[in-house]
Structure 1
């Protein structure tokens, strides 16, 4: 399957700032280089007690990092659905109805408003409760129905992060691969450096070596130097 990314309008759901880069940073660079539209729907952000050399990070600090990453990639838009400490790392107590409705129709970057051709979500087997809640809400928001009355994105994917492997019932291996150049992998890593409050040295799931190693592993699976792996939830060709 060959995709002409220049024709795509991509909506990426990121529970927190940096998830879109960890899961899709290479694809984002590849798609933007081709001329695609890329939008990031963040779900929540708040003050965080990070276990890093930088110490705790504030929501205000994260907003500054987002603006740098948005400029670096050239995103066409980004938005927060539920910002604030009331929701950050607590999306599992938010009703599925409220969260899925925000994704489907109530956010400025909702599926109904944006009408994306591609939607990319976290995988539901993540250990993180916000990732699980987001993934399940996306499944509800994109439920099958009559496409004459509700928009159905042609391609729906779930992205992976290295930390997702920390479960006994981890997801099966990816079944959709996006080939990356070394420059696109480098761009993904550079973008993570812009998320200074979230970047970590090796060994860590967000280290440079982890990101490059996962890209090399997924590339090996399909016979190319580098790739990102995804799980196909819907593919209409």
Structure 2
């Protein structure tokens, strides 16, 4: 299977700022280099207590990071559906009909408005509750129906993050590998550095050695040097 990335309009669903880079930063860079349109729908962002020296990353800091990463990759647009502390790390308190509705039609970056050819979402087996409900809402929003009445992206993928792998039975092996160049992986690492509040020293699931190791593993599984792994939810050829 080959993909002409120059012809694709890609919608990436990210529960929080940095998930799109962790899960598919290499794909983003590869697709943008080829001329694809790439749009990122964040679900939420807010203040976050963390293990950084400050002990807290603020929503204002995260917005600044998004803008720098968007410029770095050259995204065509991005949006945050549910901003603020009422939703951040609390998306599991939002009714799925509302989450699915934003993804399906009630957003400037919804499937109905954007009509993407490819949608990429988090995998449902993540330990993080915001990731889980985003994945399930995407599953609902992208459900099969009459293509004459609703837009159907021909390729729907779930991305993986290293943090998903810590429990051996939690996440199946990827069913699609996207080959990356050294430049694609370097761009992914550089973008994570721009997410300064989220990048960590090794050993951590969001460290540079972890990201490089996972790309090397997935590349080996495909017989190439580097790759990102995805789970196919729909492929129409």
Match of 2:81 in 1: 81
Per-residue CA distance 1:11-61 (angstroms, 9 max, x = gap): 000000000000000000000000000000000000000112343100000
| 47-56 or 98-107, which deviates more | 47-56
Match of 1:194 in 2: 194
2-structure distance, mates of 1:19, 1:200: 14
2-structure distance, mates of 1:134, 1:169: 21
Q: Cα offset for 1:168?
A: 5.1
Match of 2:177 in 1: 177
Match of 1:6 in 2: 6
1:184 is paired with a residue whose SS is helix
Whether the 8 Å CA contact 1:125–1:169 is kept in 2: the answer is: no
Aligned length: 237
1:40 is paired with a residue whose SS is strand
CA RMSD of aligned residues (A): 0.7
| 158-167 or 125-134, which deviates more | 158-167
Match of 1:134 in 2: 134
Match of 2:29 in 1: 29
2-structure distance, mates of 1:236, 1:160: 21
1:205 is paired with a residue whose SS is coil
TM-score by length of structure 1 reads 0.99
2-structure distance, mates of 1:204, 1:171: 19
Per-residue CA distance 1:189-219 (angstroms, 9 max, x = gap): 0000000000100000000000000000000
Whether the 8 Å CA contact 1:42–1:80 is kept in 2: the answer is: yes
2:112 is paired with a residue whose SS is helix
Per-residue CA distance 1:134-185 (angstroms, 9 max, x = gap): 0000000001000000000000000000001133541210010100011110
2-structure distance, mates of 1:75, 1:112: 19
Pairing of 1:95-174 with structure 2 (within 5 A) = 95-167=95-167, 169-174=169-174
1:106 is paired with a residue whose SS is coil
TM-score by length of structure 2 reads 0.99
Match of 1:72 in 2: 72
Match of 2:56 in 1: 56
1:25 is paired with a residue whose SS is helix
1-structure distance, mates of 2:3, 2:118: 11
Whether the 8 Å CA contact 1:127–1:166 is kept in 2: the answer is: no
The unaligned stretches of length 5 or more in structure 2 are none
1-structure distance, mates of 2:100, 2:26: 27
The unaligned stretches of length 5 or more in structure 1 are none
